[in-house]
Amino acid sequence: MSDAPAPTALPAEPAREVRPIRVAILGNPNTGKTTLFNRLCGVRHKTSNFPGTTQEARIGFPRGLPEGSELIDLPGIYSLELDQSEAAICRDVLAGQLAPRGESVEAPDAVLVVTDATNMPRNLMLVGEAIRRCLPTVIAINMVDASRRKGIHADEGVLTARLGVEAVPCSARTGEGLDALLAALTRARIPTESPPPSEDGLALWADDLYARMAAGYDQPRPDTFTDRLDRAFTHPLLGLGAFVGVMAGLFFVIFSLAAYPMGWIESIFSRLGGLVGAVLPPGAIHDLVADGVVAGIGATVVFLPQICLLFFLISLLEDTGYLARAAFVMDRVLRPFGLNGHAFVPLLSSHACALPGIIAARAVPDRRDRLATMLTAPFMSCTARIPVYVLLTVLLFRDSPLLQALAFTACYALGIAAGLLSALVARRTILRGPSRPMALELPSYRLPSLRTALLAAWDRGLVFLKKAGTIILAISIVLWWLGAYPGTEPPPEAVEIRERAEAAGADADALLAEADAIESRHATRRSFLGRMGEAAEPVFRPLGYDRQLTVGVLASFAAREVFVATMAIQIAGRDDVEESGVFEAVATATRDDGRTPIFTRATCWSLLVYYVLAMQCLPTLAVTAKESGHWKWALLQLGWMWGLAYASALVVFQSLRAAGVA
Amino acid sequence: MQPEAPASVTLASLLPGQSGLVRDTDALSPGDAAYLRALGIRPRSRVRLCRQGGPCIVEVGCGCGGPCCRVALSRHLAVHIIVEPMPA
């Protein structure tokens, strides 16, 4: 006989049919909730957030339900009663007190509780909490294909008979049972039973319910496959080796595969710029569209392949169950610095771009841990730093690819070290307090879902374009304006060369190019940005930077990659630094005195250190402010990173100069 | 004469592969205890230590003996969970 307390009987209610219906999807993490949502809705969904929170909300429009019906994907939670923001959101949505932004605030017409057939005993706890809400409910027993393979059997009919709600076995991965699930949603019923109100009572109720479901079946086979893999992936040494291997593979795939679409995008925008040049007459509108809008959008969209590829691969890794093991392995490494294993994915993502990294910090459960992760993320060397690293390491070691590669690697190592030390400082000062101890579910290993990974890449790509694209575009236009105005008359030197070009007739091309370069340098110097460079030069002089380098640093304040193009424009009059002859011109460029080189060895090292550490990315600041909920964290990030970059570059330059390194 | 009650130890002190029955989680903060309960680690639940250390890995099966899930637990949590070791 069971010792479970007697359940509270609820009055039976006739089936309710509401058309169209709004369904809230509730479930534990790792139950395949997102895979189910993607299977039912595909790209027919929109992304929003819950008002007053940074929690993303996905609203889907599934086929198979009445026209206008919606699925709301709630955050994955282990219990509705936990003191966590995700649980509070779920509670409020089910109570009809919260809805995704733009949606009417009312209780859902039905709750779809997604459970994992391979882990029913624990999932039944959340089922019990959900049916306490007395909302029309359907239970999806997901992953039945996996449970069959593992020899796990349970009678779902017991749930239907006992609770008075439909329990539908299904597999979001294969599509099995999904038609029946959608049909069940249209006739969702209010449960006829509710678990006892106490937590102990709920646990006994869930155990008793599962015992009845599993009665008559054999005990499941031990999961030796997971055992064997975990022995390697969570081993202190083997696990770390596997982690390094997986991450190296991930970056290799991202950087090697993304290079192709990035090249195509650059080519498209280059042609688009040429098209604008041909269609629009010369003037302010032409310059705004070609140099501001097209260049600004192009500079943003070019990073889209890396962002999409990163999230595609992370989704695949997460789906296999490996990512939780990686977090486990990294917890040992990160904890001495006041971070924990949850910070690993955001920090990894930040190596592509800090924006998705900071957004990914939402997965860090504790607020202090989350803020420390956000403050650390921009120190990771993102792809926007790469053009700067390439230019400076090649200038430093022209004839040694090996030393270039070592310097390049040192930049990444310096960023990681500075990030971890900054996290340690933050956790011992402004974010003082205990770090949340790790309690992380390690899901079973399984084959990943390609569909889920593709949709993750699609979603993140759209978010990146919408958020970062608009901000970078606005900044690009402002920078273009500062760099282009006020217009200046051509310098006498350029006028004289043009007169000689006219006289030269057919051989005028080289002279005209020289005149263009002189006019471009003159215009840049006399622009608002150039004048700002002159004004700010005393600030950067101790770091070894002259007026032109100061303009480069200021122009790239909004986006680091602008530095290379700005230097090329100032020095060579062209922004394609890889074009034959332009790199040589940059390498041998001199300061305004015409004698001192701009890029000395000491200056190059100083610039490298500066660009590894400085917060030269306005979109990152905007996203930090949004995700942390306050601008003070973004300003603190800006001040700390800039101060650290300035001080470090100062020490490097002055030390090298004192040591006689020119 | 009453048989002697099995000695209670902390979850962290179980041997790898050894199982135990959770006796109490009272030494944990209410927030941590609630979170672990939601993960399935609660009085009367059966646990098996898969890997020692900080963090350790624990296999959690519920009182009914159904399928298990694996949870990585920091040492701080594992030393505050009292279990009764079970015979192999």
Q: At a CB cut-off of 8 Å and minimum separation 6, what does A310 contact?
A: A254, A349, A352, A356
Residue B3 lies in a domain: no
Chain A residues near residue B36 by CB distance under 8 angstroms = 439
Cα separation, B40 vs A124, in Å, equals 11
Which tokens belong to A194? Answer: 């509710």
Closest CA to A28 of A20, A16, A38, A36: A36
Q: Which residues of A touch B61 (CB under 8 A)?
A: 121
- Cβ contact A418:A412 at 8 Å: no
Residue A194 has pLDDT above 80, yes or no: yes
Q: What percent of chain A has pLDDT over 70?
A: 91
Residue A68 lies in a domain: yes
Query: What is the model's pLDDT at position B21?
Result: 92
For A213, the 3-state DSSP assignment is: helix
Q: How far is A219 from chain B (nearest CA, A)?
A: 7
**Cβ–Cβ below 8 Å for A223 and B68:** yes
A199 → closest Cβ in B37, B39, B73: B37
Stretch B5-24: mean pLDDT:
88
Cα distances (angstroms) measured from residue A472 to each of A113, A483, A577 = 41, 16, 22
Q: How many domains does chain A have?
A: 2
Given A221, A253, A270, the domain boundary residue is A221
- In this prediction, residue A53 has a pLDDT band, given cuts at 50, 70 and 90, of low
Please check whether residue A75 lies inside any domain of the structure.
yes
Q: Is B30 within the bounds of a domain?
A: yes
Please report, for residues A409, A542, A605, A648, B15, the alpha-carbon distance to residue A651 in angstroms, rounded to integers and kept in the order given. Answer: 21, 9, 11, 5, 52
Residue A267 lies in a domain: no
Size of interface A-B (CB pairs under 8 A): 117
Are B63 and A207 within 8 A, CB to CB?
yes
Q: How far is A323 from chain B (nearest CA, A)?
A: 13
Map residue A380 onto helix, strand or coil: coil
Give residues 129 to 188 of A whose Cβ lies within 8 Å of B: 147, 150, 152, 154
Which residue intervals of A95-237 are DSSP H helices? Answer: 120-131, 144-149, 156-163, 178-186, 199-214, 224-233
Q: Over the stretch A350-385, which tens digit does the pLDDT of each residue have? A: 887 788 788 878 778 788 899 999 999 999 998 778
* pTM of the full structure: 0.75
Cβ–Cβ below 8 Å for A203 and B44: yes
- B-interface mutation test, from A82, A85, A122, A142, most B Cβ less than 10 A away: A122
Nearest CA in chain B to A331: B55
Give the count of domains, chain B: 1
Contact A82 B54 (CB under 8 A): no
Number of helices and strands in chain A (H, E):
29, 10
**Hey, which residues 96-125 in chain A have their CB within 8 Å of chain B?**
118-122, 125
A501 inside domain: yes
Residue A2 has what pLDDT? 44
E strand segments, A20-134: 22-27, 45-49, 56-60, 70-73, 110-116
Q: Which of A180-189, A382-391, B38-47 has the lowest mean pLDDT?
A: A382-391
B22 part of a folded domain:
yes
Asked if B62 and A207 come within 8 Å (Cβ–Cβ), the reply is: yes
Nearest CA-CA distance, residue A117 and chain B, Å = 9
Interatomic CA distance for residues A203 and A122, integer angstroms:
9
What's the gap in Å between the CA of A161 and the closest CA on chain B?
Answer: 20
More confident residue, B63 or A44: A44
What was the pLDDT predicted at A222? 66
CA distance A443 to chain B (A): 7
Per DSSP, helices labelled H in A49-186 are: 85-94, 120-131, 144-149, 156-163, 178-186
With vertex at residue A182, the alpha carbon angle to CA A181 and CA A187, rounded to the nearest 5 degrees, is: 95
Cα distance between residue A1 and residue A391, in whole Å = 76
Q: What's the residue count for chain A?
A: 662
Considering only CB atoms, A442 lies closest to which of B38, B43, B70, namely B70
More confident position, A448 or A480: A448
Nearest to A437 among B53, B64, B74 (CB): B74
CA distance, residue B71 to nearest chain A CA (Å): 4
User: Is it the case that residue A413 has pLDDT exceeding 60?
Assistant: yes
Confidence class for position A25, pLDDT limits 50, 70, 90: very high
Mean pLDDT of A245-263: 81
- Does B1 map to a domain? no
Indicate whether B2 belongs to any domain: no
Assigned domain for A324 exists: no
Torsion of CA A193, A199, A204, A207, to 10 degrees: 80
CB contacts of B21 in chain A (<8 Å) are: none
For the segment A282-297, what is each residue's pLDDT rounded down to a tens digit?
Answer: 777 887 787 777 776 7
pLDDT at residue number A1:
39
3-state secondary structure of A111: strand
> Of A417 and A480, which is predicted with more confidence?
A417
Confidence at A529, pLDDT banded by 50, 70, 90: confident
Report the alpha-carbon distance of residue A659 to residue A602 in Å, rounded: 10
Task: Find how far residue A532's CA is from the centre of its chain.
Answer: 33
Strand pairing report for A137-142 and A166-169:
parallel
Residue at A640 is within a domain:
no
A628 domain-assigned = no
CATH code at position B32: 2.30.30.90
pLDDT of residue B6: 63
Q: Would you place residue A114 in the very low, low, confident or very high pLDDT band (cuts 50, 70, 90)?
A: very high
- Contacting B residues, span 6-65, partner chain A, CB-CB under 8 Å: 31-32, 34-40, 42-44, 50-51, 53-55, 57, 60-65
Which domain, by its residues, includes B80? Answer: 9-85
* Tokens 């479970």, residue located: A4
Q: Do the strands A166-169 and A56-60 form a parallel or antiparallel pair, or are they unpaired?
A: unpaired
Mean pLDDT of A615-626: 85
CA distances from A99 to A102, A104, A276 (A): 8, 7, 44
Residue A211 neighbours by CB under 8 Å, 6+ apart: A2, B64
pLDDT confidence band for B13 (50 / 70 / 90): very high
Q: Which residues of A touch B31 (CB under 8 A)?
A: 83
pLDDT, one tens digit per residue, over A138-151 is 999 999 998 888 88
Pairing state of beta strands B69-73 and A193-194? unpaired
Domain membership of residue A502 as a residue range: 488-522
pLDDT of B80 reads 94
CA A503 to chain centre: 57
Q: Which of chain B's residues have a Cβ under 8 Å away from the Cβ of A81?
A: 34, 38
Per-residue confidence (pLDDT) for residue A471, from 0 to 100: 63
In this complex, do B55 and A122 lie within 8 Å of one another by their Cβ atoms?
no
Q: Where does the pLDDT of residue A427 fall: very low under 50, low under 70, confident under 90, or very high at 90 and above?
A: very high
Count of Cβ atoms closer than 10 Å to residue A2 Cβ: 12
Alpha helices in A614-630 (DSSP H): 618-628
Q: Does A344 map to a domain?
A: no
Contact call for residues A182 and A64 (beta carbons, < 8 A): yes
Residues 6+ apart with CB under 8 A from A190: A10, A13, A16, A134, A135, A136, A137, A164, A165
Q: How many other CB atoms sit within 10 Å of the CB of residue A595?
A: 7
pLDDT at residue number A627: 84
Q: Helix, strand or coil for residue A168?
A: strand
